[in-house]
């Protein structure tokens, strides 16, 4: 009886070990540690094998911006990755694109190189659309930020030069639609498409931030060209008048009976 009991106990333990091993083998790989969205405001470089997980739980809409590395394929580079929000899992392939992020946890697994960022959609906050061309001057609602925060302009084309100005005690950086850095400062001029991602960082623990959309002043280079043309035209007019005057003088002297003037 003792031998039979021992065998039974040993068999149960062995079965339990096999079940545990099978569960660990079949269980999905645990996602990477959740990254705060403040770390994803500035574009993050990704590559094959990179895994990034984050949680979106805000009512204000955020978007995932993904762009391929232009140096990887000179033809048509694409950033390929899997995105899983616990309900659906799908594969994405973007040259430079955006995707809506509903409140959920997201796990991203990358197969090629590029950059990603998570940003608020500024046109939705300020009252215009990606297809708006006649963009009127406006003052966007003031927002309080306490960490690095990205705002995407993502407007396909504007009819006239436009200045995007950021007011507040913040540092401001600009990245193009491929999430490459293109400048810093409180204002940036756009003569056509506005596809940048604007990253705002409070200088203190928090800051009040306001975006202003204004008509852009004349381009200094264009003003310089205009002034040069005006100067050239003025010189041409003065030289022409001087030549006409010199031609008239001998004729007028001849009519008066005076000897022509020589120099």
In this predicted structure, which of 129-133, 229-233, 258-262 has the lowest mean pLDDT? 258-262
Residue with tokens 């003003």: 223
The pLDDT score that the predictor gives to residue 33 is: 81
pLDDT (tens digit, 9 = 90+) per residue, 145-187? 999 999 999 999 999 999 999 999 999 999 999 999 999 999 9
Q: Is the dihedral of CA 56, 48, 32, 148 positive or negative?
A: negative
Q: Which of 65-79, 86-100, 223-237 shows the lowest mean pLDDT across its residues?
A: 223-237
Confidence grade of residue 76 (pLDDT, cut at 50, 70, 90): low
Is the separation of the CB atoms in 51 and 83 below 8 Å? no
pLDDT confidence of residue 69: 84
Half-sphere exposure of 260 (CA within 13 A, CB side): 9
The pLDDT of residue 261: 58
DSSP letter (8 states) at residue 114: E
The pair of structure tokens assigned to 98 is: 């955006």
Residues 77-118: tens digit of each pLDDT: 799 999 999 999 999 998 988 899 999 999 999 999 999 999
pLDDT at residue 255 is higher than 70? no
Q: In this model, does residue 31 exceed pLDDT 60?
A: no
Q: How far is CA 259 from CA 245, 249, 254, 256, in A?
A: 17, 11, 7, 9
C-beta separation of 150 from 198 below 8 A: yes
At residue 50, the pLDDT reads 97
Q: Any alpha helices (H) in the chain, and if so which ranges?
A: 2-26, 122-126, 220-256
Report the alpha-carbon angle 182-38-46, nearest 5: 65
What's the pTM value of the predicted model, to 2 decimals? 0.71
């Amino acid at each position: 009886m003792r031998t039979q009991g021992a065998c039974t106990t040993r068999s149960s333990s062995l079965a339990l070990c096999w079940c545990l091993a099978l569960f660990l083998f079949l269980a999905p790989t645990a996602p990477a540690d959740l990254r705060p969205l403040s770390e994803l405001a500035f574009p993050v470089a990704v590559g094959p094998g990179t895994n990034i997980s984050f949680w979106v739980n805000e009512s204000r809409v955020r978007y995932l911006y993904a762009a391929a590395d232009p140096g990887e394929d000179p033809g048509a580079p694409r950033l390929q990755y899997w995105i899983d929000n616990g309900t659906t899992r799908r594969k994405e392939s973007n040259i430079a694109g955006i995707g809506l992020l509903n409140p959920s946890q997201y796990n991203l697994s990358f197969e090629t190189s590029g950059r990603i960022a998570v940003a608020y959609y500024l046109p939705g906050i300020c009252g215009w659309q990606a297809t708006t061309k006649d963009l009127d001057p406006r003052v966007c609602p003031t927002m309080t930020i306490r960490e690095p925060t990205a705002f995407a302009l993502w407007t396909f084309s504007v009819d006239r030069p436009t200045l995007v100005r950021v007011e507040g005690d913040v540092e401001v950086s600009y990245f193009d639609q491929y999430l490459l850095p293109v400048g810093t400062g409180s204002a940036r001029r756009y003569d056509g498409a506005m596809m940048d991602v604007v990253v705002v960082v409070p200088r203190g623990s928090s800051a009040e931030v306001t975006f202003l959309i204004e008509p852009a002043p004349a381009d200094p280079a264009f003003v310089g060209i205009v002034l040069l043309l005006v100067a050239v035209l003025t010189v041409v007019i003065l030289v022409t008048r001087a030549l006409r005057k010199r031609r008239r003088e001998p004729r007028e002297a001849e009519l008066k009976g005076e000897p022509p003037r020589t120099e």
